[in-house]
Amino acid sequence: MEEYLATVQVALEASKRIISEHFRSGVEVEAKNDASPVTIADRHAESAIRDVIARNHPEHAVLGEEHGATVVSSPWKWVIDPIDGTKSFISGMPTFGTLVALTFEDKPLMGVIDMPMLNERWIGVSGQGAKCNGEPCRVSSKEDLPEAILYATEPNMFSEEQKLRFDALAGEVKLRRFGGDCYSYALLASGFIDLVVEASLQYYDVMALIPVVEEAGGIITDWRGNPIREGWDGTVVAAATASIHQQALAVLNR
């Protein structure tokens, strides 16, 4: 795993240089087929990460948001979201991140949440704990839903029916806020947020989050409490403690 960590560190420094060059530069924004925004920074940052992986681990498969999947067949797969939070990036908000996961047979063994404009980097490695900028991090010890701080990226990520369930949950917590993208999960891993509930996520949005949250002591599943695997329904509940997780699931599934 040390070899893979070294690879991801080099890859992230390369992507950070590209992202920094384009941040707040008035970069042109295009619309993808699903109407979501994309920029040259997204595409070039992913290419930089893929180039480093290809040089060091050519036998590994790669899946990225912008450039799809390689034709390599391997139980090892790198999953990349070069700019998680492109809407924040194009708005000049620094709370977007770069996500890189390494999976083995669809199980994420390493995940990185890199915040290039904030100089913060969370790394979770299966069985080795989670760290932020090299220092161990830990989720909060909150046990009761009325004490919890809840985050989601934006209201329109939910269907009408999901939004009703989310609003019911939001009515039972101490504080609800929108925004953050992947940064919310990083802050959960460091004990500042207690609950993140989202929907409409893609595989590359969430694989890197799982080792970070779990290795910091938290729990992350879909809305029914099932593990997140390729092809799941796009819902996520990440919680600091088993107690808050179960309470949140109970409200979401009333």
Is this structure's pTM higher than 0.85? yes
In this prediction, residue 217 has a pLDDT band, given cuts at 50, 70 and 90, of very high
| Mean pLDDT value across residues 64-87 | 94
Helix (H/G/I), strand (E/B), else coil: 88: helix
pLDDT given for residue 35 in this prediction: 76
Amino acid at 161: E
* Strands, sheet with 107-115, edge to edge from the N-terminal-most edge strand: 68-69, 61-64, 76-84, 97-104, 107-115, 120-125, 129-132, 135-136
Distance CA 92, CA 218 (A): 30
In this prediction, residue 235 has a pLDDT band, given cuts at 50, 70 and 90, of very high
Amino acid at 118: L
pLDDT given for residue 71 in this prediction: 85
| Mean pLDDT value across residues 86-107 | 96
Least confident of 6-10, 16-20, 37-41, 176-180: 37-41
pLDDT given for residue 34 in this prediction: 80
Distance CA 76, CA 78 (A): 7
Q: Is the pLDDT of residue 176 over 80?
A: yes
In this prediction, residue 72 has a pLDDT band, given cuts at 50, 70 and 90, of confident
**Domains parsed from the chain with CATH numbers:** 2-136 (3.30.540.10), 145-252 (3.40.190.80)
